[in-house]
Chain A
Amino acid sequence: MRGKNLKKQDVIIGTILAFASGVIFFLIRSSELHSESQGEVGLSPAFFPELAFLLIFFLSCLMIILSYFKSGERQPAEAVKIINLTQMRQVGTIFLVLIVYVILINIVGYYISSFATLLTLFWIFRVKSWYTILPVSILLMVMVFFFFEMGLKVLLPRGFLF
């Protein structure tokens, strides 16, 4: 069962990669990038991108072929990378928080958005003690201020407050 899942996963990924790289290769081939420097010595700007996608295409096909030979083998538990919905939910939540954080930085400023994000992340990670959350968050903001702004002269974004 584990071997079957691994084979299916490799076939799906290999197919997606082969298709995408093939399409992109032909798109580059027919673009202006490829036609530049035709007739001149040296390589066109498209050569290395084309090489990269050609490589990905052939290797993806190889991956699909090899996955059929792997199907009979017993795979160790760690090798079976089945999508775990709980895990994806955790990861998705944190990623969403970070996106909101980056958007808020320009609106409310680095310090307020970072402080709020830290509180949110501590809540997601189930850190419940305010004796930990508040001092750590405030101390981190102070350290970032002194180290980055005062020490390294990296001006962090300001919002409508500060």
Chain B
Amino acid sequence: MIDMLTQALSLLLNPEIYAVILIGSSLGIFLGAIPGLTGIMAIAIIIPFTYYMDSVPALILLISISKSAIYSGGIPAILLNTPGTPADAATAIDGYALARRGKALKAMKMGLYASVIGDTFSDLVLILVAGLLASVALKFGPPEYAMLIVFSLTIIGAVSGKSMVKGLISAGAGLFLATIGLDPMRGTPRFDFGVIEFYGGISLIPMLIGLFALAEVLRQAGHEIIGEKDVRFLPVSENRDDSRVTKNDMKRCLKPIFKSSAIGTFLGAIPGIGPTVAAFVSYGEAKRTSKNPPPFGEGNLEGVAASEAGNNATAGANLIPLLTLGVPGDVTAAVLLSAFMLQGLAPGPLLFEKHGYIIYTFFLGLLMCNVAYFFLGTLAIKLSKKLFRVSKRVVLPIVLILCCVGSYAINNSLFDVGVMLVFGVIGFFMVKFGFTPASMIIAFILEPILERGVRQSLIISQGNPMIFITHPVAIIFIVLTIFVVAGTIRRTYKDKMKLEKAKSSLTGNE
């Protein structure tokens, strides 16, 4: 390993590596910040060009796009309540609330620091213990996936806002919406109403853009801003500390950042789970254990830190099953697999033996990408400051047009634009009546994995539900679920008792 590392260090003297890191990170940050566009799209387009490049610069170019795009999706989430990727919906919850209080810069900077720390953490885990983590990840079968998702659904309690019941109703709606399309086991069309575009189910990104971005624009348009003289796009606080991350902010966010990095790394290493689940589970865990005001959902910096760290920690971890076993963990890894094959590198157990120095150079390149997008992210934050001074009345129409083109670009389909419009109205009324779009999105994303896991498990066990309590890893998730649900009920009861006590002492004083 030391020899390979030494060889890898010498390969890093190649200036081409630095150029591709800069180009890839810049492209990723730019693309990821536009709702509807993802790093995967850029990677898919750039792959053919990498055929003419050497292996290491080619792979580093692609991974730098992916990493920086994952980070920059948090920028529109904070500024526009428009997640750049589904995972950033968790960042939008507290990030946008902070932006509305004049703390957009603080939120974006914390998002950047948390992303870099989470990403670096998972890269180090990849370099040092990839093999071990891959062997654990591969022990996940259908019962384990099903119980992991049941545990992940407890996050809904964390994002439900003031009304848990309404949050759960939103989740129920999300569960139903995810069943639209072809049944995953039998291929039977469900709720397609004869519309061929529904066979593939409702597209997630137009739904996300509608529920968050369009709904927010409609909400703002419905307010009296039109009557006001000149409304800035975002308020800017006079307090200097609101534009930066102070020592105290960092101190209280460090624990959730590291916890979320661990959660994101573990979940990212499991094929099929992805950054969205990691971001929301990290957010939920941070909320559950936080002792610091303000409440989550109303602008708590820990919420931004946890979701961004959890989200970005999947970037390196996603590569663990790919590099060690040749199993792509998600779409990005699958696209990278094709890049590896194009370069004549077959991911799997023999990759380290046959091409060890290339892989270790790639590993060092991963760490350098984090440094690059830290500096480029800082620059992007500085440039985004200019947006604050622009009038809201100019920004909102532009956002509307970009929402439409972003939704169209996914599948080159106007149907997706229609989906975006419908969910925009749904999202507008959901927020108006106290329901939670975030709960709907979480349930929508988790349902397919849950359904597949439960149904496959029951087929394996010949219909016997005891399969869920005979697998040790599944039992661990069941216990964790019970623990989290009990803790949530206990905390809700305690908060209610505190409120009643405060009310009765207030009445007593009067």
Closest to B31 in A: A152
A136: shortest Cβ distance to chain B, in Å? 6
Contact residue among B175, B218, B401, B404 (Cβ-Cβ distance under 8 Å from A95): B218
B348 in the interface (beta carbon within 8 A): no
The interface residues of chain A lying within 8 Å CB-to-CB of B223 are: 87
Q: Are A63 and B421 in contact (CB under 8 A)?
A: no
A125 and B186 in contact, given A43-B458, A52-B176, A60-B169 (Cβ under 8 angstroms): no
B502 in the interface (beta carbon within 8 A): no
Per-residue CB contact flags for chain B residues 452-477 toward chain A (1 = under 8 Å, else 0) read 00110011001100000000000000
Q: Are A48 and B179 in contact (CB under 8 A)?
A: yes
Closest to A125 in B: B393
A81 to B435 alpha-carbon distance, docked (Å) = 12
Q: Are B221 and A90 in contact (CB under 8 A)?
A: yes
A59 and B396 in contact, given A33-B190, A45-B190 (Cβ under 8 angstroms): no
A62 to B166 alpha-carbon distance, docked (Å) = 10
A102 to B405 alpha-carbon distance, docked (Å) = 10
A88 to B173 alpha-carbon distance, docked (Å) = 24
Contact residue among A136, A144, A153 (Cβ-Cβ distance under 8 Å from B45): A153
The interface residues of chain A lying within 8 Å CB-to-CB of B176 are: 49, 52-53, 56
Q: Are B409 and A154 in contact (CB under 8 A)?
A: yes
Q: B residues 430-462 with Cβ under 8 Å of A? A: 432-434, 447, 451, 454-455, 458-459, 462
The interface residues of chain A lying within 8 Å CB-to-CB of B401 are: 114, 117-118, 121, 140, 144
B408 in the interface (beta carbon within 8 A): yes
A86 to B224 alpha-carbon distance, docked (Å) = 9
Q: Are B41 and A42 in contact (CB under 8 A)?
A: no
A154 to B166 alpha-carbon distance, docked (Å) = 39
Contact residue among A90, A98, A102, A136 (Cβ-Cβ distance under 8 Å from B394): A136
A44 to B329 alpha-carbon distance, docked (Å) = 28
Q: Are B434 and A81 in contact (CB under 8 A)?
A: yes
A152 and B409 in contact, given A52-B172, A56-B173 (Cβ under 8 angstroms): yes
Q: Are B414 and A41 in contact (CB under 8 A)?
A: no
Q: Are A154 and B412 in contact (CB under 8 A)?
A: yes
B242 in the interface (beta carbon within 8 A): no
The interface residues of chain A lying within 8 Å CB-to-CB of B217 are: 94
Q: Are A59 and B169 in contact (CB under 8 A)?
A: yes
Q: B residues 211-226 with Cβ under 8 Å of A? A: 217-218, 221-223, 226
A92 to B393 alpha-carbon distance, docked (Å) = 17
A117 to B396 alpha-carbon distance, docked (Å) = 12
B interface residue count range (under 10 / 10 to 19 / 20 to 34 / 35 or more): 35 or more
B400 in the interface (beta carbon within 8 A): yes
A161 in the interface (beta carbon within 8 A): no
A13 to B398 alpha-carbon distance, docked (Å) = 34
Contact residue among A48, A59, A126, A157 (Cβ-Cβ distance under 8 Å from B168): A59
A152 to B30 alpha-carbon distance, docked (Å) = 13
* Interface of A: prevailing SS: helix
Q: Are B418 and A102 in contact (CB under 8 A)?
A: yes
The interface residues of chain B lying within 8 Å CB-to-CB of A59 are: 165, 168-169, 172
B185 in the interface (beta carbon within 8 A): yes
B504 in the interface (beta carbon within 8 A): no
Q: Are B421 and A55 in contact (CB under 8 A)?
A: no
A11 to B166 alpha-carbon distance, docked (Å) = 12
A91 in the interface (beta carbon within 8 A): yes
B425 in the interface (beta carbon within 8 A): yes
The interface residues of chain A lying within 8 Å CB-to-CB of B41 are: 152
The interface residues of chain A lying within 8 Å CB-to-CB of B412 are: 154-155
A9 in the interface (beta carbon within 8 A): yes
Q: Are A33 and B188 in contact (CB under 8 A)?
A: yes
B77: shortest Cβ distance to chain A, in Å? 20
Q: Are A102 and B421 in contact (CB under 8 A)?
A: yes
A99 and B421 in contact, given A45-B183, A144-B405 (Cβ under 8 angstroms): yes
Per-residue CB contact flags for chain B residues 151-185 toward chain A (1 = under 8 Å, else 0) read 00000000000100110110111011001000101
Q: Are B45 and A42 in contact (CB under 8 A)?
A: no
The interface residues of chain B lying within 8 Å CB-to-CB of A13 are: 433
B487 in the interface (beta carbon within 8 A): no
Contact residue among B42, B185, B414 (Cβ-Cβ distance under 8 Å from A102): B414
The interface residues of chain B lying within 8 Å CB-to-CB of A106 are: 414
Contact residue among A51, A94, A127 (Cβ-Cβ distance under 8 Å from B175): A51
Q: Are A118 and B397 in contact (CB under 8 A)?
A: yes
The interface residues of chain B lying within 8 Å CB-to-CB of A19 are: none
Q: Which of B191, B405, B451, B463 has the most CB of A within 10 A?
A: B405
Q: Are A41 and B397 in contact (CB under 8 A)?
A: no
Contact residue among A42, A52, A60 (Cβ-Cβ distance under 8 Å from B455): A42
The interface residues of chain B lying within 8 Å CB-to-CB of A148 are: 405, 409
Q: Are A91 and B400 in contact (CB under 8 A)?
A: no
A88 to B53 alpha-carbon distance, docked (Å) = 56
A52 and B421 in contact, given A79-B162, A152-B409 (Cβ under 8 angstroms): no
A42 to B410 alpha-carbon distance, docked (Å) = 34
The interface residues of chain A lying within 8 Å CB-to-CB of B425 are: 95
B417 in the interface (beta carbon within 8 A): yes
The interface residues of chain B lying within 8 Å CB-to-CB of A155 are: 412
15 further A-B pairs in the complex, CB-CB below 8 A; given A81-B433, A98-B404, A155-B412: A46-B190, A48-B179, A48-B447, A49-B190, A55-B168, A55-B172, A81-B432, A91-B218, A94-B217, A94-B218, A118-B398, A121-B397, A127-B391, A153-B45, A154-B412
Q: Which residues of A are in contact with B by a Cβ distance under 8 Å?
A: 9, 13, 17, 21, 33, 36-37, 41-43, 45-46, 48-49, 51-53, 55-56, 59-60, 62-63, 66, 79, 81, 84, 86-88, 90-91, 94-95, 98-99, 101-102, 105-106, 110, 114, 117-118, 121-122, 124-127, 132, 136, 140, 144, 148, 152-157
The 3 A-B residue pairs whose C-beta atoms are closest, nearest first, are A121-B397, A87-B222, A52-B176
